[in-house]
Amino acid sequence: MAISESASREPQTSQQTSQQWLENEPAVEVVGITKRYGQVAACDSVDLVLRRGQIHGVLGENGAGKSTLMKVLIGLVVPDAGQVIIDGRPSVITDPIDAAAKGIGMVHQHFSVVNALTVWENVALGDQDRLNPQAVRNEIGDLSRHYGLDIEPNAIVGTLTAGLRQRVEIIKCLRRSPRTVILDEPTSVLTPGESEALFEGLRRAVEDEGMAIALVSHKLDEILGATDLVTIMRRGQVVANLPTSQSDAPGLARAMVGRPVSLRSERMLADRPLADRPTQAERAGSKSGLPKPVQKTASLEIRSVYAQGDDGRSLLNGLSLAVNRGEIVGLAGVEGNGQRPLGDLLSSLLPVSQGEVRVDGHPIVCGKAGAMARARISVIPEDRHDSGCVLEMSVAENLFLADPTLVSRRGVVDRRKMMDRAQGLIDRFAISCEGPTAPMWSLSGGNQQRVILAREMAHAPRVLVAAQPTRGLDVGAIEYMSSQLRQAAEEGVAVLLISTELEEILDLASRLIVLSEGRIVGGMDRDQVDIEQLGLMMGGAGT
Amino acid sequence: MGALLDIIGNEVTYSSAMRFAVLLLFAASGEWVAERAGTLNISVEGMVLAGAFGSAVGYDLTGSTVAAVFVGSVAGFLVSTIQANLSHRLPADQFVVGLTINILVLGLVGFLDNVLEPTVVRASQLTIPVLASFPVIGPALFDQPWPLFLVYPLVPAMWWLVYRTRWGLEVRASGEDPNSADVSGIHVNKRRRQTIYVAGITSGLGGAYLVLGAVGSFADSIVGGRGFIAIAAVIFGGWTLRGSVAGCLLFGAVVSFRLSLPDQGYDGINTEFLSALPYIVTIVGMALFAHRIRPPAALAKPFLRGLN
Ligand SMILES: Nc1ncnc2c1ncn2[C@@H]1O[C@H](COP(=O)(O)OP(=O)(O)OP(=O)(O)O)[C@@H](O)[C@H]1O
Ligand SMILES: [Mg+2]
């Protein structure tokens, strides 16, 4: 039944439905929702109204309670108090199936697709009727065309890039023809082009079909560009509710954090002319009194590395790069061009077929567990759930998982010492959690990221590789993470910043290199950046 | 060398290999489904034993082999309800539960066997014309006690169930990524319980086949660890049904080989070594193919909502 319903989703049908909804009629109302976790009130009598035909932005710092609120709406979290009213009727949402039946669908912050299954199997997961592969594949085709989300239905999801995996998730949600859609940080893994396409599709759904959309995001320009209304949450409470047209980025940031924040884009404007600005290396050099080409041998050096995946696909294709002490090198490139294999290489997860990696001139064995870490290469991994942390273990255990020697004597963990040290790191990195023994899964996404940063910095690394380090962070936390990376560089660490966000690289790096199809296709100094040239290189066109 | 040739050319070898392989096939096909859903169901040993004893009692009471096979599968199912509900409704550890069940069933069956002393016969032979006269392997495959023939539709049915039905899709999702499955609206623990019931029924059938088809009598030592070999076959098969079937046939051949050697007057090979062979083959196989075979990602991990 679901199949025939959504298979008939043609442009004409959506025209018809457009007459059936009233402009700005409430689709979902949340009244006084409260949810506590121990001492923490994740949501504290929150009110929110999602109206048909509107995109409603929800902003807030890490841990503000956004995801918790959204999970109440799809029945994954049972609130302690409060009510959800759907189409005017008070409703109790018991689980995601129930939510889908009541017209609410969600695209999750952390992927909820099964990597071992194909795209169409994932999309069909959770239906009730008989399995009809061809019908599902056809529907995926229809939805792809309608919303501009191209995807191959027979691909195994685990082989897709993060952007495509999320596309699967969005299609899965839209296929149930929801009247209300919740998107929790949908663009954190998308390229700018992909995000734009997504918002175009959403706008169409809102205007033609009267969908109500809640969009959780940390990206202010995204909220400003895509939403009609914004709600700002802080520490579990709604602190502001205003039409997007009456707000601007500094105002939103201030409301969100509760203090003025220096925004990356503003800083960049203020920093012009660029040539006047000292580079990180210069700053680091002047501060610690090091000569300018800091050392003859680079701290991290990768020499024409080739590596293949299990399926024989080439992942790294003669990649060479060097990072000196005290500099931040930004590695730009479109997602899926070798960022992940490079991160894996430097986490000892990827053996190479040719080439070598050196730290301070000493060659390091590739693909041998722990070899890179022993050479004091620290990696903040791209996907914190895949390889970043163990969700079932406590914050303290996660902090010292990679190197228990810091808190143990003759192989026996000293629990007191571990707790003390963990508390120290929690304070230093301002991790908001119940304490060192809180399980990792109870932390919000942004705070999990801080734990990983703390863990990597606790090792006094020589080389710090940060892969998409601010993905999913709020503006305050981004500011913090950036200052930590700068500080690390100033202390003489060689920092390699892998990011698909050009802004981030332009803000932090003193030198840029561009990755395309598994190798470096070019580079330039921060002060001589030519955006157009950079774009060409990222597309694999420049030389 | 002569011994090997004698054995390879002999129809009896294949019949006897088939006899051992079929018991494994019954048990392993259900076990495979349970493992795909995320349960490493070690109580399969107890399920087979319960099925064997159930069918013996069933025959003793009714005098019908059909009824006996039915009672056997019900006995396997009953054992599976304990495993399923303790480990996927209450959060009891699946291995502890499985181990306990195996011990419990063994004790209970030993006791009841003494009390009831069921007598059994071998089920009637079924011969498929033409096919059974195929040289060397014809009799092994097509001239056998009738319960053996149940395995032919059973194995493809399991494949169809897991790969072609919605239920199977949800089973695979539950075994790979229970959190995502849950978020998609799947009752992960319910699916896991159901797959254990499937394993219970097929293992019960395997037990019935063992008593009525292979041996023709009952003793409480009749299963003798072959439930565990069925688990090894699934692992050896890299959690694919095709591989599991191959594992069952291989291990069946190894066991019958061991038994037929002394019969034919060769006792140069250490039979204890041969008993250990299935396990050795499994370990070597795992070592060789470890980079290619991948267990269901959530195998043996309990699912509790909130741990996401
Ligand atoms: N299952 C849980 N157990 C205990 N505490 C929890 C649990 N889930 C969330 N919390 C706490 O509730 C608060 C709100 O978390 P939530 O995930 O809703 O934040 P968020 O606004 O989505 O943040 P982010 O932007 O980092 O994703 C956090 O302090 C978090 O530690
Ligand atoms: Mg969140």
Which is more confidently placed, B74 or A408? Answer: B74
- Is A9's pLDDT higher than 60? no
Question: CATH number, domain at B120?
Answer: 1.10.3470.10
Q: Where is mean pLDDT largest: A8-17, A156-165, B1-10?
A: A156-165
- Is A400's pLDDT higher than 50? yes
| Tens digits of residue pLDDT in A19-34 | 455 678 899 999 999 9
Residue A271 lies in a domain: no
Angle at B127 (CA atoms; ends B121, B133), nearest 5 degrees? 135
A202 and A53 inside one domain: yes
| Tens digits of residue pLDDT in B28-43 | 999 999 999 999 999 9
Q: Quick one: pLDDT at residue B189?
A: 94
Tokens of B107: 């004790």
Residue B93 lies in a domain: yes
Residue B134 lies in a domain: no
**Nearest-ligand number for the alpha carbon of B305:** 1
Question: CATH number, domain at A303?
Answer: 3.40.50.300
Is there a contact between B177 and A115 if contact means CB atoms under 8 Å apart?
Answer: yes
**What is the spatial distance between Cα A400 and Cα A14, in angstroms, rounded to a whole number?**
54
Cα of A496 vs its chain's centroid, Å: 18
Beta-bridged to residue B143, according to DSSP, are B127
Tokens of B271: 């039979």
List Cβ neighbours of A356 (8 Å cut-off, separation of 6 or more): A302, A303, A305, A363, A364, A366
Q: Among A207, A238, A259, where does a domain finish?
A: A259
Q: Which amino acid is at A365?
A: V
Strand A212-216 relative to strand A229-234, pairing: unpaired
A331 and A458 inside one domain: yes
* Number of other CB atoms surrounding residue B60 within 10 Å: 16
Q: Quick one: pLDDT at residue A70?
A: 93
Beta-bridged to residue A232, according to DSSP, are A59, A240
Q: Quick one: pLDDT at residue B53?
A: 97
B169 CB near a chain A CB, below 8 Å?
yes
Give the percent of chain A with pLDDT over 90: 31
Task: Closest CB to B186: pick one of A76, A100, A126.
Answer: A126
Residue B137 lies in a domain: no
Q: Quick one: pLDDT at residue A312?
A: 66
Residue A107 lies in a domain: yes
| Tens digits of residue pLDDT in A460-511 | 889 999 988 887 777 878 888 888 899 999 989 999 999 877 788 888 999 9
For ligand 1, whether the C-beta of A445 sits within 6 Å is: yes
Q: Quick one: pLDDT at residue A161?
A: 73
For ligand 1, whether the C-beta of A446 sits within 6 Å is: yes
Tokens of A510: 């003193």
Give the percent of chain B with pLDDT over 90: 60
B166 CB near a chain A CB, below 8 Å?
yes
Which is more confidently placed, A191 or A294? Answer: A191
How sure is the predictor about A385, in pLDDT bands with cuts at 50, 70 and 90? low
| Tens digits of residue pLDDT in A267-284 | 544 443 333 334 444 444
Q: A338: left (phi > 0), else alpha (psi -120 to 50), else beta?
A: left
Chain B residues close to A121, C-beta within 8 Å: 169, 172-173
The widest CA-to-CA distance across chain B, in whole angstroms, is 63
List Cβ neighbours of B5 (8 Å cut-off, separation of 6 or more): none
**What is the spatial distance between Cα B177 and Cα B196, in angstroms, rounded to a whole number?**
18
Atom number of ligand 1 nearest to Cα A64: 21
ipTM of the complex: 0.86
Q: Quick one: pLDDT at residue A11?
A: 41
How sure is the predictor about A179, in pLDDT bands with cuts at 50, 70 and 90? very high
Residue B304 lies in a domain: no
Task: State the helix-helix crossing angle for B226-236 and B11-36, rounded to 10 degrees.
Answer: 70
Q: Quick one: pLDDT at residue A241?
A: 92
Chain B residue at shortest CA distance from A113: B180
Q: Is A325 exposed, middle or buried (0-12, 13-18, 19+ CB in 10 A)?
A: buried
Q: Among A207, A229, A259, where does a domain finish?
A: A259
How sure is the predictor about A440, in pLDDT bands with cuts at 50, 70 and 90? confident
Q: Quick one: pLDDT at residue B281?
A: 77
- Is A8's pLDDT higher than 50? no
Q: Quick one: pLDDT at residue B26?
A: 97
Q: Quick one: pLDDT at residue A12?
A: 40
For ligand 1, whether the C-beta of A60 sits within 6 Å is: yes
Is there a contact between A116 and B306 if contact means CB atoms under 8 Å apart?
Answer: no
Tokens of A314: 């080439």
Q: Quick one: pLDDT at residue A287?
A: 40
**Structurally, how many domains does chain A consist of?**
2
- Span B272-279, average pLDDT: 76
Task: Closest CB to A117: pick one of B172, B179, B291.
Answer: B172
Tokens of A96: 């995601």
Q: Quick one: pLDDT at residue B115?
A: 94
**Nearest-ligand number for the alpha carbon of A473:** 1
Mean pLDDT of chain A: 81
Query: Do A42 and A68 meet the contact criterion of CB atoms below 8 Å apart?
Result: yes
A326 and A231 inside one domain: no
Q: Is B267 exposed, middle or buried (0-12, 13-18, 19+ CB in 10 A)?
A: exposed
How far apart, in Å, are the Cα atoms of B10 and each of B126, B257, B259? 21, 11, 14
Q: Which domain holds residue B201?
A: 2-125+144-289
B165 CB near a chain A CB, below 8 Å?
yes
A194 and A333 inside one domain: no
- Span A125-133, average pLDDT: 89
**What is the spatial distance between Cα A538 and Cα A532, in angstroms, rounded to a whole number?**
10
A203 and A340 inside one domain: no
Q: Which helix (H) or strand (E) holds B259?
A: helix B241-263
- Is A91's pLDDT higher than 60? yes
Measured distance between the N- and C-terminal CA atoms of chain A, rounded to whole angstroms: 54
Q: Which amino acid is at A536?
A: L
Q: From B86, B83, B4, B90, select the one nearest B45 (Cα to Cα).
A: B83
**What is the spatial distance between Cα A367 and Cα B28, in angstroms, rounded to a whole number?**
36
Prior bond of A273 cis (ω within 30°): yes
How far apart, in Å, are the Cα atoms of A95 and each of A99, A105, A126, A176? 6, 11, 12, 15
Q: Quick one: pLDDT at residue A264?
A: 60
Q: Quick one: pLDDT at residue A459?
A: 78
Residue A59 lies in a domain: yes
Q: Quick one: pLDDT at residue A406?
A: 74
Tell me how far the alpha carbon of residue B173 lies from the centroid of ligand 1, in angstroms: 26
A211 and A307 inside one domain: no
- Is A403's pLDDT higher than 80? no
Chain B residues close to A172, C-beta within 8 Å: 184
Residue A289 lies in a domain: no
Angle at A521 (CA atoms; ends A518, A523), nearest 5 degrees? 125
Q: Among A228, A259, A290, where does a domain finish?
A: A259
3-class SS of residue A515: strand
How sure is the predictor about A285, in pLDDT bands with cuts at 50, 70 and 90? very low
Which is more confidently placed, B273 or A231? Answer: A231
How crowded is the C-beta side of B229, counted as CA atoms within 13 Å?
29
Q: Quick one: pLDDT at residue B145?
A: 92
**What is the spatial distance between Cα A447 and Cα A399, in angstroms, rounded to a whole number?**
12
What are the residue ranges of helices labelled H in A22-161?
Answer: 66-73, 96-101, 119-124, 133-147
Measured distance between the N- and C-terminal CA atoms of chain B, rounded to whole angstroms: 58
A194 and A105 inside one domain: yes
Residue A290 lies in a domain: no
Query: Do A325 and A301 meet the contact criterion of CB atoms below 8 Å apart?
Result: no
Tokens of A30: 């949340």
Query: Do B214 and B72 meet the contact criterion of CB atoms below 8 Å apart?
Result: no
Task: State the helix-helix crossing angle for B226-236 and B271-289, rounded to 10 degrees.
Answer: 30
Give the percent of chain B with pLDDT over 70: 91
Residue A432 lies in a domain: no
Residue B283 lies in a domain: yes
Residue A381 lies in a domain: yes
Cα torsion angle, A214, A216, A221, A224, sign? positive
| Tens digits of residue pLDDT in B191-220 | 999 999 999 999 999 999 999 999 999 999
Q: Quick one: pLDDT at residue A118?
A: 95
- Is A540's pLDDT higher than 60? no
Q: From A18, A12, A80, A17, select the one nearest A45 (Cα to Cα).
A: A80
Q: Is A434 exposed, middle or buried (0-12, 13-18, 19+ CB in 10 A)?
A: middle
Which is more confidently placed, A403 or B134? Answer: B134
Q: Quick one: pLDDT at residue A291?
A: 37
Query: Do B206 and B48 meet the contact criterion of CB atoms below 8 Å apart?
Result: yes
How sure is the predictor about A331, in pLDDT bands with cuts at 50, 70 and 90? very high
For ligand 1, whether the C-beta of A470 sits within 6 Å is: no
Cα torsion angle, B228, B230, B232, B235, sign? negative
A177 and A308 inside one domain: no
Is there a contact between B183 and A124 if contact means CB atoms under 8 Å apart?
Answer: no
Q: From B243, B242, B230, B241, select the one nearest B288 (Cα to Cα).
A: B243
Q: A111: left (phi > 0), else alpha (psi -120 to 50), else beta?
A: beta
**To test ligand 1's pocket by mutation, which of A33, A40, A107 has the most ligand atoms within 8 angstroms of CB?**
A40
Chain B residues close to A392, C-beta within 8 Å: 307
Angle at A23 (CA atoms; ends A22, A27), nearest 5 degrees? 75
Site of tokens 């990180």? A280
**What is the spatial distance between Cα B145 and Cα B213, in angstroms, rounded to a whole number?**
5
**Structurally, how many domains does chain B consist of?**
1
A314 and A370 inside one domain: yes
Residue B299 lies in a domain: no
Q: A236: left (phi > 0), else alpha (psi -120 to 50), else beta?
A: left
A307 and A189 inside one domain: no
Tokens of A516: 């395309």
Residue B131 lies in a domain: no
Give the percent of chain A with pLDDT over 70: 83
A255 and A318 inside one domain: no
For ligand 1, whether the C-beta of A64 sits within 6 Å is: yes
Q: Which domain holds residue A377?
A: 298-390+440-538
- Provide residues of A within 8 Å CB-CB of chain B: 76, 95-97, 100, 108, 110-117, 121, 124-131, 172, 310, 391-392, 441
B268 CB near a chain A CB, below 8 Å?
no
Residue A291 lies in a domain: no
Site of tokens 């994932």? A122
List Cβ neighbours of B37 (8 Å cut-off, separation of 6 or more): B171, B172, B174, B175, B191, B192, B194, B195, B296
Which is more confidently placed, A542 or B77? Answer: B77
**What is the spatial distance between Cα B13 and Cα A446, in angstroms, rounded to a whole number?**
64
